[in-house]
Amino acid sequence: MCGIFFSLSASGPVLPNEETCSLLRKRGPDSFQVQQVQRDVNTDQTRSVPTLLTFVSTVLSMRGDQVVAQPLVDTTGESVLCWNGDAWKIAGEPIRGNDTQLIFNLLLQAAKPSYNSESSNALDNGSAVQRVVDVISRISGPFSFVFYDAVNAKLYFSRDCLGRRSLLQGIDDTGAFKICSLCDGTSSTHFDEVGTTGVHMIDFTHSVMQDSPTPETGATHFNLDSIQTLPWENVDSPGHLRNPIPPMNRSVPQDVPPQLSLESPCVVELEQRLRMSLALRIQNVRDPPGFTTESNTKVAVLFSGGLDCTILARLSHELLPANESIDLLNVAFENPRVAAAASKEAKTGSVYENCPDRITGRSAFAELQAVCPGRNWRFVAIDIPYVETVAHRDTVKRLMRPHNTEMDLSIACALYFASRGQGSALDSHEGNAEPQHYTTPARVLLSGLGADELFAGYARHGMAYSRNGFEGLIDEIDLDVSRLGKRNLGRDNRVIAHWAAKHDSHTSMKTSSQPESDDPTKSTTGIDPEKRALRLVALKLGMSNVAREKKRAIQFGSRTAKMEKGRVKGTDALS
């Protein structure tokens, strides 16, 4: 991942504080640079004030043969780009070379002055906005960015339409406007997730600052109302910000739909799409630091042994070179409440090995070895004592801001320690060798986050179907997809990217809520209706046990939930 910071201030330079700089460097350890631009802007009192635009970027270099430092700066016009993302294609064409440099060149070309047909002397800024929008519309992949178009005096910033990369915005106590990959400053600084409804633009030719009514109320500050949003639209024409995600298919079957089977066209198509999508994420990745013939891992999976993550591991096997190991990062926590209950009941065994995710993780590890014996699978058992959870809790809470509930914390803790990748490793090709202390060198971390929202994996999806049939199910999935960026993906990205890794999650839209008849002669017997198409893909790939694995939330499988109090609710705010 890369880190982004931007500030707009009329009271002097505003840089990220020391703590934020440290966290940004952890996201992008390969480069750290600052760029500042000064320009005059108008206030609501029609006066001009000098303001300072500050850009900070840290870089985690994933592809290519050299590090491309950011921010990228156009020396002739002072335009600036801070980019955090993976642009795999532009207008459907695969990208050759560095994606950041290519996108910057396209944006600069789009921002070049043009003249309208009525007057050869009249700059047509409106068409420049349309051209910039066209460039962004043509990008395939997850991203967040800040682009300053110095030629036309405009600032653009956004995340992709699903919100797969973190970006926050807020105004600090001095009235400065900030955009950052994570919260900057104290908890009193108000930050919100940058909306995924479109690309946001600040036009410096208009009033963007507000004068304080009286000197006692503070300095000139940024006016949030000056931010314009250019919405994603399901229109493929110049000047529109085309949404790369097609609208929800709201058609419903008139008759009882046929049962999904291993040969169903949508199951075959889903497997193909998952394979193509995964290839973009894990192939052609540069060797990470620590990559050797012994520690030859570029890709790791956040691995509970459940359906979603095991499919990602299984498909990765078919896409990566045979001599590369794949790390399976399995985290388990010492939960004092669970340990106390086990002690009272005289239960024996390791508190870690008795965690549900450790049990399913080892089971899926064995099944992967049986189905793909030629691959070296490295199972990394990450055991987190309670005292270590407590020691890191403030850091996790800092990273997940502005999220602030018990559920956020329990999920974030599991992702934070799993993505650190430190534990006891067991290589499948080493037979009965003793596990060794190990830290994964992988910089690409795969997760199945979002699969339950997209494949109707929650109990509420079944309830929606029971109440209102397919119409109710479609409405529930549509709601889940629309709020993924705000509720889940930004938070998860901030926590996982702390360990200088690129976090990728992806799924597709195939689901079934029709239960199957219990026929013991059928190979699909025992396959749950939730995420049925995905379960059938697992079955096609030889993962029979995984295809039948029950859904379990990460905070319960790893036992990060309710460590101190049993009656706490996930929605309760943290103290």
280-291 residue pLDDT tens = 889 888 887 767
Residue 482 inside a domain? The answer is no
Confidence label for 411 from pLDDT (cuts 50, 70 and 90): very high
Q: What is the pLDDT of residues 485-537, one digit of tens each?
A: 888 889 999 999 988 787 776 444 344 444 444 444 456 777 888 888 899 99
Q: In angstroms, rounded to a whole number, what is the distance separating the alpha carbons of residues 505 and 446?
A: 6
Shared domain for 197 and 269, answered yes or no, is: no
The pLDDT score that the predictor gives to residue 518 is 45
The CB density around residue 374, as the number of other CB atoms within 10 Å, is 8
pLDDT greater than 60 at residue 476: yes
The beta strands (E) that lie in 60-109 are given as: 72-73, 80-85, 89-90, 93-94
With respect to residue 201, please indicate whether it lies within any of the assigned structural domains: yes
Do the domain assignments include residue 363?
A: yes
Q: 310 and 225, same structural domain?
A: no
Q: Active-site residue among 2, 21, 161, 372?
A: 2
The angle, 0 to 180 degrees and rounded to 10, between the axes of the packed helices 356-371 and 307-319 is: 30
- Residue 128 · residue 201 · CB < 8 Å: no
Mark whether 321 and 192 lie in a shared domain. no
Radius of gyration, CA atoms only, the chain: 25
When the pLDDT of each residue in the chain is averaged and rounded to a whole number, the result is 86
Provide CB contacts within 8 A for 120, sequence distance 6+.
none
571 is a domain residue:
no
Could you tell me which residues are beta bridge partners of residue 146? 82, 157
Helix (H) or strand (E) run with residue 31 in it = strand 31-43
Three-state DSSP state, 471: helix
CATH code at position 152? 3.60.20.10
Question: Residue 563 has what pLDDT?
Answer: 84
Q: Is there a single domain that holds both residue 196 and residue 327?
A: no
- pLDDT above 90 as % of the chain: 49
- Work out whether strand 154-159 and strand 143-149 pair parallel, antiparallel, or are unpaired: antiparallel
* Confidence at 95, pLDDT banded by 50, 70, 90: confident
- Tokens 């178009």, residue located: 149
For residue range 273-320, list pLDDT tens digits in order.
999 999 988 988 888 776 777 778 999 999 999 999 999 999 999 999
pLDDT of residue 507: 41
Q: Is 2 a catalytic residue?
A: yes
Q: Which class for 42: exposed (0-12), middle (13-18), buried (19 or more C-beta within 10 A)?
A: middle
Q: Is 490 among the domain residues?
A: no
Cα dist from 396 to 58, 408, 568, whole Å: 20, 10, 19
Rounded distance, CA 394 to CA 449, Å?
23
| Residues above pLDDT 70, as percent of the chain | 92
> Which tens digits make up the pLDDT trace of 217-237?
457 888 899 999 999 988 777
CATH code, 354 = 3.40.50
Classify residue 467: in a domain, yes or no: no
> Within this chain, do residues 227 and 274 fall inside the same structural domain, yes or no?
no
Same domain, residue pair 373 and 438: yes
The DSSP secondary-structure symbol of 47 reads -
β-strand partners of 221? 210
Judge if 59 and 197 occupy the same domain: yes
pLDDT tens digit string along 202-212? 999 888 888 87
Counted domains in the chain: 2
Nearest to 425 by CA among 334, 326, 335, 356: 326
Domain extent, residue 309, equals 265-447+500-510+517-558
Confidence of residue 544 (pLDDT cuts 50, 70, 90): very high
d(CA 181, CA 2): 8
Residue 145 has pLDDT above 70, yes or no: yes
Q: Which pLDDT value is given to residue 34?
A: 96
Confidence band of 36 (pLDDT split at 50, 70, 90): very high
Does 80 fall in a domain?
Answer: yes
CA distance 73 to 150: 10
| Residue 410 sits in the same domain as residue 352 | yes
Q: Give the strand pairing for 297-302 and 444-447.
A: parallel
Helix boundaries (H) for 424-520: 451-454, 459-482, 484, 490-496
Rounded distance, CA 138 to CA 150, Å? Answer: 22
Q: Are residues 349 and 419 in the same domain?
A: yes
Contact 454, 477 (CB under 8 A): yes
Does the CA dihedral 516-521-524-528 come out positive or negative? positive
227-233 sheet: strands from edge to edge? 72-73, 80-85, 143-149, 154-159, 198-203, 227-233, 241-242
- Residues with Cβ < 8 Å from 65, sequence gap 6 or more? 286
| Residue 457 belongs to some domain of the structure | no
For residues 226 and 269, membership in a common domain is answered with no
- Whether 201 and 300 share a structural domain: no
Same domain for 224 and 301, yes or no, is: no
Q: Which two tokens stand for residue 284?
A: 């052609």
Q: What pLDDT digit, counting tens, does each position of 232-262 carry?
A: 988 777 777 888 877 888 888 777 777 788 8
How many helices and strands (H and E) does the chain possess? 16, 25
pLDDT of 111 > 50? The answer is: yes
